Amino acid sequence: MTSISQAACIGGGVIGGAWAARFLLAGIDVNMFDPHPEAERIVGEVLANAERAYAMLTMAPLPPKGKITFCKSVEEAVEGADWIQESVPERLELKLDVITQIDAAAHPKALIGSSTSGLMPTDLQRDMKHPERMFVAHPYNPVYLLPLAELVGGQKTSAETLKAAQEKLAPIGMKGVIIKKEIEAFVGDRLLEAVWREGLWLIHDDICDTETLDDVIRYSFGMRWAQMGMFETYRIAGGEAGMHHFLAQFGPCLSWPWTKLTDVVDLDDALVDKIAAQSDAQSGARGIRELERIRDENLVGIMQALKGGDAGRGWGAGKILAEFEKHLWAQGGVRSGAKQATPDHAAPLRLIDTQVSAAWVDYNGHMTEHRYLQVFGDTSDALLRLIGVDFAYVEAGQSYYTVETHIRHLGEARLGQRLYSTLQILASDEKRIRFFSTIFNAETDEALATAEQLMLHVDSKAGKSIPAPTEVLARLAAITEAHAELPLPEGVGRSVGQKR
């Protein structure tokens, strides 16, 4: 994949700070310029939320976090950057001034994206010397979690620029969609504005309050949209006859006077006060940072659930997450916070550092049983990568399959708790690996669960066990011999129900 080597973020508000977080957590260094006196604090808080979300989002090995440098000028910030993201306030003259400064100082081949949610890229290109490399890269908040960026070119944007931008977003876990024609507000905000306009009328006319309106969205079509969007959802509604039947059945109602989409509601003081009061009653007891964390936890849970769809290939945003994780595993980077890049063979291997996410807990707030198995599975996968059994190896037709597992639950893992796991090889031969893994509370080093497991080397296509290749066995033997010197862990060989 074509990757971003260095990024620059011009503007460090909610969107600019979240762009920086997306880059940094993908291992990309970021130069930031924002004249706001508290820019470093604001961006730091956004980054802290992003790191918290990523700890829940994935167990794939994130690369070492990029370095952020706060610069004193636009010129200093864009030096050496191959992706420059402008996220200054939504005022045309301000953006024109900033983009002109970027254009003059940046390398001629650097891509320049604007986070504008409505200004036309042709207008933003007006004073540029190299307008062919400028485009709109319109994200959605929070940028570090939501993967979409609308890529919109102006009259002077080259097709190669949009294609390059799309390719560069993929390795950082984003989906760049190229919009064919520039229009005001692009595609996403056009749809949101229609729903927003109708929602304002429903509140204005006292049909419902803000909480009821939000409930209607989040308990119904909002869930459908999250994984299939609009047209695929309606195709299902058409039954076996598909979209032709749906349009024939529901198309005529478009002429009925149901909505007020063409009418502009008067946002006078009375309506503003009404909406603000209802909004405060709905969620005003929670601060903005708490609401952001709740939002992030919910998004992580939805994306994790969607990642398991379509036989593990993912669906919607979950598909992008699955592809991002595959890229991370293939890169073989070290998860931020991991203790060792190459574990010491003279001790149980510390292979996984993670955190209990909202998607992992049950009604008691405890990590559910199958998530323990997931962590143990990720631990054994880390061992396999260590001995050379990686994605390429598996795709070539050979792998290790787990054939026996015995799990003991010794303690409780709760929401937000940091965990790590270790693995000790008990025995191995040309076909088998027997090992013992332990999940620990990272704060107290208390053992929370153990698993004794046996894996068998197989030819996946033939469906039978075969000896592993010499190079894999050599790496495995080195660890096995070192671990033979270690005392056996407590719990090895236990049967279910055996008294302590």
Interval 299-305 mean pLDDT: 89
- Same domain flag for 136 and 31: yes
- CB atoms near residue 195 (< 10 Å): 12
Contact in structure between 356 and 366 (CB atoms under 8 Å): no
Interval 96-109 mean pLDDT: 96
Examine residue 428 and state whether it is found in any structural domain, yes or no.
Answer: yes
Q: Is 240 helix (H, G, I), strand (E, B) or coil?
A: helix
- Same domain flag for 233 and 262: yes
pLDDT band at 234 (very low <50, low <70, confident <90, very high): confident
pLDDT band at 336 (very low <50, low <70, confident <90, very high): very low
Between 310 and 116, where is the model more confident?
116
pLDDT band at 497 (very low <50, low <70, confident <90, very high): confident
pLDDT band at 340 (very low <50, low <70, confident <90, very high): very low
- Same domain flag for 154 and 233: no
Q: Tell me how far CA of residue 443 lies from CA of 337, 413, 419, in angstroms.
A: 13, 12, 8
Please say which residue of 285, 319, 353 terminates a domain.
285
Interval 141-149 mean pLDDT: 96
Interval 236-257 mean pLDDT: 86
Per-residue pLDDT, 206: 97
- Same domain flag for 366 and 471: yes
Per-residue pLDDT, 294: 87
Examine residue 491 and state whether it is found in any structural domain, yes or no.
Answer: no
First and final CA of the chain: distance in angstroms?
A: 53
Examine residue 495 and state whether it is found in any structural domain, yes or no.
Answer: no
Interval 372-390 mean pLDDT: 93
Burial of 256 (0-12, 13-18, 19+ CB in 10 A): exposed
The CATH number of the domain holding residue 34 is: 3.40.50.720
- CB atoms near residue 470 (< 10 Å): 8
Contact in structure between 32 and 20 (CB atoms under 8 Å): yes
Examine residue 82 and state whether it is found in any structural domain, yes or no.
Answer: yes
Dihedral over Cα of 195, 358, 147, 317: its sign:
negative
Interval 44-60 mean pLDDT: 88
- Same domain flag for 235 and 150: no
Q: Is the backbone peptide bond immediately before 142 cis, with ω within 30 degrees of 0?
A: yes
Rounded CA-CA distance 93/249 in Å is 48
Examine residue 346 and state whether it is found in any structural domain, yes or no.
Answer: yes
Burial of 263 (0-12, 13-18, 19+ CB in 10 A): exposed
* Among 101-105, 209-213, 388-392, the least confident range: 388-392
- Same domain flag for 277 and 342: no
Rounded CA-CA distance 277/279 in Å is 5
Q: Residue 85: is its pLDDT beyond 80?
A: yes
Indicate the helix (H) or strand (E) that contains 465: strand 464-465
Between 417 and 86, where is the model more confident?
86
Q: Residue 483: is its pLDDT beyond 90?
A: yes
- Same domain flag for 194 and 181: no
Per-residue pLDDT, 341: 53
The CATH number of the domain holding residue 381 is: 3.10.129.10
Which tens digits make up the pLDDT trace of 418-450?
A: 999 999 999 999 999 999 999 999 999 999 999
Interval 482-486 mean pLDDT: 96
pLDDT band at 333 (very low <50, low <70, confident <90, very high): very low
Per the structure, how many domains does the chain have?
A: 3
Examine residue 16 and state whether it is found in any structural domain, yes or no.
Answer: yes
Per-residue pLDDT, 339: 40
- Same domain flag for 215 and 171: no
- Same domain flag for 76 and 42: yes
Quickly tell me which residue has 């049967």 as its tokens: 495
Range of the domain at 472: 338-483
Per-residue pLDDT, 334: 40
- Residue 481, token pair as written in the block: 């011999």
Q: 288-307 and 221-228 helices cross at what angle (nearest 10)? A: 60
Q: Which amino acid is at 249?
A: Q
pLDDT band at 1 (very low <50, low <70, confident <90, very high): low
Between 298 and 340, where is the model more confident?
298
The CATH number of the domain holding residue 213 is: 1.10.1040.10
pLDDT band at 332 (very low <50, low <70, confident <90, very high): low
Examine residue 302 and state whether it is found in any structural domain, yes or no.
Answer: no
Q: Residue 335: is its pLDDT beyond 50?
A: no
Between 211 and 301, where is the model more confident?
211
- Same domain flag for 263 and 166: no
Please tell me what DSSP assigns to residue 395.
Answer: H
- Same domain flag for 133 and 15: yes
Q: What is the mean pLDDT of the chain?
A: 91
Interval 180-195 mean pLDDT: 95
- Same domain flag for 57 and 68: yes
Interval 479-495 mean pLDDT: 94
pLDDT band at 42 (very low <50, low <70, confident <90, very high): very high
* Among 116-125, 308-317, 318-327, 394-403, the least confident range: 308-317
pLDDT band at 83 (very low <50, low <70, confident <90, very high): very high
Examine residue 328 and state whether it is found in any structural domain, yes or no.
Answer: no
